[in-house]
Amino acid sequence: MKEIFLLTIGIISWGLQPAVGQIELEWELGYRANEGSGELKWTESRVPGAIQLDIAKAEGYDPYYYAENWSDYLWMENQEFFYRSEFEKPDMEAGQRLIFHSQGIDYKFEINLNGEKLLEQEGMFTPVRMDLTSYLENQNELLIKVFSIPKLHKEPADRSQAAASVKPAVSYGWDWHPRLVPLGIWDKTYLEILPGSHVEDVSVQYVLSDQLDLATVRIEVTGRELEGCNVTWRLIDASGSLVELGNLIPGKSGPALEVTVNNPKLWWPHDHGVPYLYSYSLELWDRFGNLIQTIDGMLGFRRVKLVMNEGAWVESPGFPKTRSVPPIQLEINGRKIFCKGTNWVNPEIFPGIITAARYEELLDRAVEAHFN
């Protein structure tokens, strides 16, 4: 039996067209002070960040993490807020598109450009990708309305209200987390100028043989005006050597490209081997042979299963259940591995201020504690 698993991280870079690139936006936050009444006040907003933090800075609130200061923020739960960014229409070559990206807006929101509603969406983990080109004016106002926090009003003001959303329930109040429910733009958000023909999404998946000695990699590409273009995909090992090369002509050679990798080096947890990663590069060439887009990412080959332990159904009759025989175990690349870890809680109350350095620090501590 063959298994399908995926470990891939993608990043996008651009080359050979200096007019193509990302545009960072400056944001203001609109809110009603005096616990939600009165006219809108506008203040500078940090994006990514959190609505509560912008207001706290503007109003001079004491730190939310000290004593009972968190209670000063509760009035914000039932309010609506507005992000505003004004920008000039950028210089673009014929056929180029202006795309709005946001990797995360928390929680329910609508997006308007120049007074026209373009999108309404719910969910902090669903990214936004919108083509603004047809709606642009010389001077533009991008307005994001963020609705009040989702909660079951019939429930008491505790974590039982969290059932109204797909958000970390701890933010509604936990033994280690005050009741502070984040709102706002919490992940990277920007404008991007793209060529008329461009890749919008790349899916890289693979099938490992039963003997783990052959990987069949399937690359699916979707995008805009790709017909007549050529897609090149390269898999490169950790030493920089080319492992496999494939080509795809959208509209002619099918919707996907498949390549095979013989005897792939496997990814292992750090205490059982090398967490080996390949890199890949996808290039989009236009019909004239010009390189117009490059997408880079990482790919690791592994097979992960949950397997039943011997005696898994013989449960202890009493409590606590944590003393029962663990019913399942992870099997990675055919080897049963005892998982060593602990409860990971949010590094910050507001996810929009978590930095890569903070994550790296905590992961280093986890390795030092022999977690895997």
- Cα gap 171→180, rounded to integer Å: 5
15 pLDDT above the threshold of 60: no
pLDDT band at 39 (very low <50, low <70, confident <90, very high): confident
Position 351 scores a pLDDT of: 96
Please name the residue ranges forming H helices in 89-211.
none
Question: 3-state class of 360 per DSSP?
Answer: helix
The dotted CATH code for 21-193 is 2.60.120.260
pLDDT single digits (tens) 298-317: 999 999 999 888 776 666 66
Determine if the peptide bond prior to 320 is cis (ω within 30°): yes
- What's the whole-number average pLDDT of the chain? 89
- Domain positions in the chain are 3-17+198-299, 21-193, 306-368
Overall pTM > 0.95 = no
8 pLDDT above the threshold of 80: no
Question: 3-state class of 58 per DSSP?
Answer: helix
The two three-digit tokens of residue 312, written as one number: 């898994």
Question: 3-state class of 34 per DSSP?
Answer: helix
Position 5 scores a pLDDT of: 45
Mean pLDDT of 10-19: 35
- Cα gap 237→102, rounded to integer Å: 32
pLDDT single digits (tens) 181-219: 999 999 999 999 999 999 999 999 999 999 999 999 999
Other beta carbons less than 10 A from residue 79's beta carbon:
18
Position 55 scores a pLDDT of: 97
Q: Are 284 and 296 in contact (CB under 8 A)?
A: no
Mean pLDDT of 141-146: 98
Can you name the residues that pair with 72 across neighbouring β-strands?
Answer: none
337 pLDDT above the threshold of 90: yes
The dotted CATH code for 3-17+198-299 is 2.60.40.10
The two three-digit tokens of residue 222, written as one number: 């979707």
| Percent over 90 (pLDDT), the chain | 74
| Percent over 70 (pLDDT), the chain | 89
DSSP state of 274: -
323 pLDDT above the threshold of 80: no
Position 342 scores a pLDDT of: 87
pLDDT band at 152 (very low <50, low <70, confident <90, very high): confident
Position 4 scores a pLDDT of: 44
Q: For the chain, how far is it from start to end, CA to CA, in angstroms? A: 27
Same fold, 3-17+198-299 and 21-193: no
The residue with tokens 């390795």 is 367
- Cα gap 97→116, rounded to integer Å: 19
Task: Give the amino acid at 233.
Answer: W
Task: Give the amino acid at 209.
Answer: S
Other beta carbons less than 10 A from residue 247's beta carbon:
13
DSSP string, 37-57: -SSEEEEEE-SSS-HHHHHHH
